[in-house]
Amino acid sequence: MIKRLIISPILLVLSLIAYYYSRSDILLWSTASTLFFWSFVALIIPSSFYKYIKNGIMRYKKKRSLWISLALYMSYHVILYSFFFYLLLPGSIRSLSFSFSVNAGIGYSVPPPLPYFLQWVSDSPAIWFFIGPYEGDVIPFSTFMGVILAILIGLNVAQISELWGISSKVNKSIVMIPSLGVISGSSCCVFLPSIVMYSIALSITSITATILSILSSFTYFVIVYYVLPIISAIVLFHNLTLLDKLVIKISREHIKRV
């Protein structure tokens, strides 16, 4: 605990130093600044969280439901999500192209003024790729949160699977409640409201200006880009702890009946 308290502020300072020097070699120092910053974030997350996650992974490491749901969500979060913006644009489905070509590269942002430091280390550097005409982007913040959310979703699914297996017919209805928690937690950060609003704004010209003004506001950006994924992680972790208690309780009832 003491080591974490000492190391974490040092990492933050190193991140800011790398940000200062990034004007000389943007890619090198942007990468260094981002690695230092997200290492800092990883260290300030309570160690009890990691302990809980580690115990869960060790418990369900042989369950396919854990790894399948984890891989599926991570694939969507990092790779497929960007494509949905394109598909919802007016006329995009009619102009779908099935030509297969892959292009990829590394992009980075010019260091902005200090007040925008958080956004900079969230977006730069990034890996961009095109599959045919469709673009995807792997950026630091979405990757960091994607890993956390994918693990939490995987563990939630594994626990629900176990809970369903040991529950009686009466208790199976109770399992649906935490299942809804997983759905709400995982969907909170996919920004579907934003995608739908964006599509509507481009389809109905009379309200285009109003909707785009909302979508382009700084407050909306902060809420959607940063707050919602964090809320998702909190919801999923809370749901995981509730599931753990349910598993213990129903297991004890099952042992008594046996």
pLDDT digits 0-9 by tens, 158-213: 888 777 766 655 455 555 555 555 655 555 555 555 656 666 666 666 666 776 67
Rounded Cα–Cα distance for residues 25 and 36 (Å): 16
Distances (CA, A) of 71 to 131, 213, 224: 19, 36, 24
| Band (119; pLDDT cuts 50, 70, 90) | confident
Q: What is the pLDDT of residue 62?
A: 87
Residues 135 and 82 sit within 8 Å (Cβ to Cβ): yes
How open is the CA angle 78-21-104, to the nearest 5 degrees? 30
Residue 106 pLDDT greater than 80, yes or no: yes
Measured distance CA(57)–CA(70) in Å, rounded: 11
Give the other-Cβ count within 10 Å of 172's Cβ.
11
- Between strands 134-138 and 102-107, the pairing is unpaired
Confidence (pLDDT) at 241:
85
| pLDDT score recorded for residue 128 | 81
Q: Whole-angstrom Cα distance, residue 199 to residue 12? A: 39
The yes-or-no verdict on residue 28 having pLDDT over 70 is yes
- Percentage of residues of the chain with pLDDT beyond 70: 66
The Cβ of residue 2 has, within 10 Å, a number of other Cβ atoms equal to: 6
Q: Provide the pLDDT for residue 248.
A: 73
Tell me which range, 16-30, 31-45, 119-133, is most confidently predicted by mean pLDDT. Answer: 31-45
Determine which of 9-23, 202-216, 235-249 has the lowest per-residue pLDDT on average. Answer: 202-216
- φ, ψ for residue 12, nearest 5 deg: -65, -45
DSSP 3-state of 253: helix
Cis peptide preceding 90, ω within 30 of 0 = no
Q: How confident is the model at residue 136 (pLDDT cuts 50, 70, 90)?
A: confident
Higher pLDDT, 176 or 42: 42
pLDDT at 113 over 60: yes
Q: What is the mean pLDDT of the chain?
A: 77
User: Contact, 194 vs 224, CB < 8 A?
Assistant: yes
Tokens read off for 131: 């599959």
Residue 93 or residue 30, greater confidence: 30
pLDDT of residue 181: 57
Q: How far, in Å, CA of 80 to CA of 70, rounded?
A: 14
What is the number of residues in the chain?
258
- Considering the entire predicted model, what is its pTM? 0.80
Q: Does the pLDDT value for residue 108 go beyond 80?
A: yes
Whole-number pLDDT of residue 96: 57
Q: Quick one: average pLDDT of 233-249?
A: 81
Asked whether the beta carbons of 133 and 93 are under 8 A apart, the reply is: no
Please check whether residue 36 is in contact with residue 18, taking contact to mean a CB–CB distance below 8 angstroms. yes
- Please report the pLDDT score of residue 192 as a whole number: 56
Of 156 and 219, more confident:
156
Task: Find the mean pLDDT for residues 43-48.
Answer: 89
66-105 pLDDT, tens digit per residue, is: 888 888 888 777 666 656 555 555 555 555 566 667 788 8
